Amino acid sequence: MAEDRTGAPPAGEHIHMPAPSLLPIVNAVGVSLAIVGVTLSLFVTFAGLAIFAVSTVIWIVKARQEMDELPASHAGSGD
């Protein structure tokens, strides 16, 4: 039997997909507000930056929690 060179997981192995989330959209809105705020108002710029910063931290925390819930064989070391 030929060796698998595709890097695909064996048949029947579960492939992890992240849960659906609105965080990327909220993050993009924050960046957009910050950029538009440069021409409109300092308040809009800081509001956008605050939204961006908070959504980024929440997104990272949730991603880390999700990675911690995976079995050790899915640690992502590429082995």
The count of domains in the chain is 1
Q: In this structure, what token pair is assigned to residue 6?
A: 């595709």
76 in a structural domain? no
Range(s) of the domain holding residue 62: 41-66
Does residue 54 lie in a domain region? yes
* 28 to 13, 22, 70: CA distances (angstroms): 34, 10, 28
- The pTM for the full model equals 0.69
Instruction: Tell me the pLDDT band of 6, cut-offs 50, 70 and 90.
Output: confident
Is the per-residue pLDDT at 3 higher than 90? no
Residue 50 lies in a domain: yes
Q: Model confidence over 7-49: pLDDT tens digits?
A: 766 666 666 677 788 999 999 999 999 999 999 999 999 999 9
Q: Count CA atoms closer than 13 A to 40's CA, side-chain side.
A: 12
Asked if pLDDT for residue 79 goes beyond 50, the answer is no
Type of residue at 51: I
21 falls within a domain: no
With respect to residue 47, please indicate whether it lies within any of the assigned structural domains. Answer: yes
12 contacts: CB under 8 Å, gap ≥ 6: none
